[in-house]
Each structure stands twice: as C-alpha cells, then as structure tokens.
Amino acid sequence: MANKEQGTVAALTEDDSENKVEVTDTANTSSEGEAKASEASESMAPVPISAEYNASAIDVLEGLEAVRLRPGMYIGTTGPRGLHHLVWEIVDNAVDEALAGHCNKIDITINEDESCTVQDNGRGIPTDIVEKTGKSAVETVFTVLHAGGKFGGGGYKVSGGLHGVGASVVNALSERLEVEVYRLGRVHRQVYLRGDADGLLQVLGETDLQGTKVTFWPDELIFHDINEDNERLKIFFEWDVLATRLREMAFLNKGLCIVLTDNRSTKGAGKSETYHYAGGISSYVEYLNETRDVLHKPPIYFEQRTNDITAECSLQWTTLYSESVYSFVNNINTHDGGTHLTGFRNALTRVVNEYAKKTNILKESDDRFTGEDIREGMTAIISVKVPDPQFEGQTKERLGNREVQGVVQGIAAERLADWLELNPKPAKDILMKVLQSKQAREAAQKAKQTVRRQSALSGGGLPGKLADCSDKDPEKCEVFLVEGDSAGGSAKQGRDRSFQAILPLRGKILNVERVQPSRIYDNNEVQAMIQALGLVVTEQDEDGGKSTGMLRPNALNLDLSKLRYHKVIIMTDADVDGSHIRTLLLTFLFRYARPVVDNGYVYIAQPPLFKVSKGKRVEYCYNEHKLEAVLAEMGDKGVDIQRYKGLGEMMAEQLWETTMNPATRTLKQVTIEDASEADHIFDLLMGESVAPRKEFIEKNSHLVAHLDV
C-alpha cells in the first residue's frame, strides 16, 4: 500500500532545516545554577488533580465492542493484510479439525458480492448449550472472546489457533456473518450483524453432510485503503495472496485437500484451483526447488513421533549458494525459528561432520564444517506438531519449548545418519558441495580482510560517492539508492542534508542470485552499499565472545544496531532498465540483508510519470488514472504534457517536491508476506534456469498495462 508520509518526518524537515544547535555552557555562575535548580524544583511540583477525572470517565467495553473499536490489536491492520487475515482465522479453525483427524477437505470461495465462504467436512461446531454463557456453543464461539475448544478441554490436542478469538473477531469485523453447522444429521443456522446475533440458532432440517460453513461480508466501514490522493478506497480479496497461503497449508497437512474458487465476474468467474499433496512437505521442497538444479532426488524425508511431539522434516541440496530453511509449529510459520529449528541444525552439523571424518572428506587436522557451510544451497522444511506450544512474544514467531529441541535433535540425528549411510553416492556429492562452500567461505574472509585494509588506507569505511547526512540518528536518517550519476547529482542538490543521504549507483549491480558469496566483496557497487548502509554481521565465538563475520545469503544474524539508516529508499527510473536495477537491488537486500527488509526499513520511491502544465498551473501525475483526471479537469487547449522516463530529466527542485519531500512524496514499503514464496519468485526471476522464467513471463504478460521499451 502506498502511504503519504506526514507528521514525524515532515516535522524533522522543519525543525532541522536551519541546523539549530543548542550549546550548554558548563561554566555557569553559582547564581545561574541556583536559578536553574529552582526552576527544576518548580517543574517537579505535583500537578493538580482534575475533578473531572473520576470513576465516570472509566468506560467498560462489552462483548465485541473492543474489537470494532481497536481492530488493529486483533488483526494488525485494516488494510489488505487485515482483510485477508479474516480468511485465515476461519481457515485455521478448519485446519485444526484436520490436525485432529476429523477433516480432509476445505472449500474457500470468494463470492460475487465480495463475501467469503469457508466450508469444511469436520465434526461441526457443537450446538448444545455452554453452561458458562447460557448460549449455544455456536453462538458462544462467534460472540465471546477467548472461547473455544483449544484450552485443554479435550476438543483439540494440537492446534494452531491458541487464543480462541478467531471466529469472534471475524464476526465482530463483518457487516454480516452466516454460519451453518452440519452435525448429527441436522442443519443448524445462525446469522450475525456486526457481531450481534440476529436471532437464535435455528434447525433448518436434516442432512447427510458433516462440518461447518461460514460466510462473512467484511465491514466496509472498517476495511479500506488510501490512495496517493488520500482517498478512501474499497479493498478486495486478492487471488494470489489467498492461493499462496492455502497452497502452503496443503503442503503442511499431507493429504488435506483445499479448493479455492473465485466466483467474481470481474476477476474471472469460475476460476478454481485445488491444492492436494500426498507428499506433504516433501512436495513443498520439490515446489521450492522446481527452478533449481538439485544434487539428489527425491528430497530426504522423515517423520517420527516421540513423547506426543511429531517432527516432520524434508531437505534437499541444490547447486545454489543461498540457504532456504522454513520452520513451522502446528502450521504456524515461525519466522524466527526456535527450539525445533535449533535441534535440527545441531543434528545436521554434527552428523555431516562425523560422516565427513568417517569418509576422509575431512582430515583429522582439518577445521570442521560450520553450520553455514553445510546449509549452503540447502532447501529444508521443518514442521512439528506440539500439544502445548509456548511462543516467545505475541507474534508467535519463535518457539520456546525446551523439550522440543531434544526431541527434534534426536530424531534428526538418527534419521540423517541412516540416510547418509544408505545413499553413499548422493552423500558424497553433498559433501563435495559442502567442502566447496567451506573453501569459498575462507576465500571470502580473505577478500573481506583485503577490503578492510584498503578502506583503512583510504581513510575511512564509507564510500567516497556517498553524500551523507549531518544527523547520525538512524531512526531519523534515510538514504536514497539512486540510479546513475545524473540522477544522483539532482538528488544531492535537492535533498535535505540534515537527514537525507544519497548513494549513486553506476549501472546494473551484480546479480547476487548467481554468484558465490565471495564475489560480493569484489564488486564496487555492492561493496559501496555494504559500507554505506552499515551491514555488519555479528557472530558468536566458541569461547562465548562476539566477532564480526561476513555477509552470507539468508543469514539472519545481521547486527541492526549498526544500520546507519532506518529508511533505505530505492529510487530508479520508471522504465525497463530502472525496473531491472530495482529488482537487482531488492535481490541483494532480500538475500544478504533480509532483517533490513523484515523490519520494514526498505522502501521504493514513486517518482511522477507525467508533468502536466497549463499556464501557471502545474500538476504531477504518478499514474495514468491521475493523468486522465487532471486532463479532464483542465481541457485540451494549452495543456503541455511531459513524460518522465529518467530521474535525470528532473530539476533538483522538481525531484525534491515530487519524490523526496516527506510532506508530499509517496513511498511504497517493501514487505514479505510469505518468505518461502518470495524465495521462490526471486529464484525464478533471477536464477539460472531460463525455461521457468519464460513460462512465468508468458503466464503473467497480460497483467502488464504499460511497457516502456
């Protein structure tokens, strides 16, 4: 979503533009010191209590009022992401039925009127009365927060939805919601309007079906988007967003059939896809590697249950240099890993080193392979089912259960050792790949040391082409990665020097998707970005100390405290070359500086496409729609239209006014909704395989509205 930046950054521009510096003279006279002390004492005096602030000012929100008043607390946002979150909440409930062994099919349908229907063939929500609420179980689930069968009452042993707020939150944020329950030979139905039941649970008749069907209409009063003109826009369900997540759910639940259908006439009525993978996460690894050259087929796969914990792992090595490892707990994507991932990695590192010593790939005097050496080029999925998962933080992104680490480590060590022994030929190919990774790492370390020495001899660690800002607070500072010296010159002249830095990049940077990590230290443009941004990796030494390591693909141990700017803004031309350069930059940031992207520090500038002028009136248009609106408002006579193809065509003042001024510019924040799908797309677009890229272009060419060549 594109947002107009107002407020904080604009205020910085006004306050800092004059470079006002307040200097405190420490040599005050005693009288001055006493006066200041007196002022401080007075400022700390108790503030009088307002008689208006009493018990009547305390409000108690009942039922689902809190959800409608503060929806962001429950779904994160009321934009597109929040809209799709409603679907995930209902789907997760159906998947929990599958985890419990009672459901094998889920249908998700986007209806013509932009409502959504989710139907499963599970047990159906209970319809009898809940003693604590005096309502039916169905009404309780949809109208009471923290109500459900996932709190140890015997409904579910393993569950992804832990808080019991999903169905009730969807109900609260829907203009209308209808639920039908097919259970024990009867059809039950209830309707809700903005969270409140519109009548009691009714019995409609008899049925042979079993399961639950939920249809909801998202409330347009809550869900909307903002365009570049600050206009409120209706938002719609997006096929690709739904398909990506549902495909992942099918991969993670072997044998579960998920059907997605779009019945909207404007979006392609009747479009339907079925996601059903008998191979489960092994099929997931094959999907992620379909554009890559693999070292062995099929992927390694094992599944085992120990102490009520089920560990399922699949892994496969490729010829690539990046690591693609994804972990899940009860179908929840644990982006920050946790004890299950630690257990897997420990087992992998120990087993491969032991096998390498046993087969003389490593001599007794050789240094061991590091975990990163072993995982280079590896694609892996680690999925565990845990009865009582404990997550660190509210975002459920890191598993904290200590017992899981030991279980996973034991299972993985045994099964991986068996596979290596039983598959000596592919095992040797893997070890040779790991050995090459070790040698490349040692070469990269030497190259990095050489770069450091050269930087020291040249008088500093920052590239000479960087026009830095005067403020040193990363939260206030931003850097523009600008295409070419011409645009870089305009940007340097037009910027606010107090908080805006400019780094011009010459030509197309290295495609890091296709080269060994050591090559990035030989490339001037990539090296300039590393130095300018402050991309530093902190590694833990064996003795417990910390040292500076080298950048490696997909490493998550980037030291963000060393990051010099909290806004990294890519500013390229609005043509094919500009798009290519932007993709190359995003590839580097995604592969080598992933935490910078994950933390929301990467943006894309939106320069105008057109300048429309008539007399003294000038309008900048950022898209064709805006151009048409402006032309309709002016008429044709005397109107001059200038099409910008390059940033270098713009004067410094124009570039500031349209693209760099925080009070008037439009930025697009780069986010990663689904890391595995982003991984797949980057590899498809920037990797070695030509045929899959050609197929992707042919499949999506109809989506291109305007192409500059």
Reference 353, options 425, 302, 413; nearest CA is 413
Q: How far is Cα 705 from Cα 15, in angstroms, rounded to an integer?
A: 42
Q: Is 208 a catalytic residue?
A: no
Which residues face 379 on adjacent strands? 316, 324
Answer yes or no: are the C-beta atoms of 156 and 96 closer than 8 Å: yes
DSSP 473-487: -TTT-EEEEEESHHH
Residue of 96, 120, 139, 483 marked active site: 483
- In total, the chain counts a number of residues equal to 709
* Token output for 65: 């009022």
Q: Is 238 a catalytic residue?
A: no
Which residues face 325 on adjacent strands? 380
Report which secondary-structure segment, H or E, holds 513.
none
**In this structure, are strands 116-120 and 105-110 parallel, antiparallel, or unpaired?**
antiparallel
Q: How far is Cα 529 from Cα 617, in angstroms, rounded to an integer?
A: 39
Angle between helix axes 675-686 and 281-288 (nearest 10 degrees) is: 30
Q: Is 575 a catalytic residue?
A: yes
The 3-state DSSP class for residue 529 equals helix
Reference 245, options 118, 415, 386, 58; nearest CA is 118
Residue of 573, 677, 679, 683 marked active site: 573
Angle between helix axes 339-358 and 424-457 (nearest 10 degrees) is: 110
The 3-state DSSP class for residue 181 equals strand
Task: Identify each DSSP E strand in 50-130 by its residue range.
Answer: 105-110, 116-120, 129-130
Residue 21 has a CB neighbour count (10 Å cut-off) of 5
- Residue appearing with tokens 């062995």: 296
Q: Is 92 a catalytic residue?
A: no
Residue of 397, 577, 649, 674 marked active site: 577
DSSP H helices in 204-338: 239-252, 281-288
Residue of 228, 575, 649, 674 marked active site: 575
Which residues face 130 on adjacent strands? 135
Q: What residues are labeled active site?
A: 483, 573, 575, 577
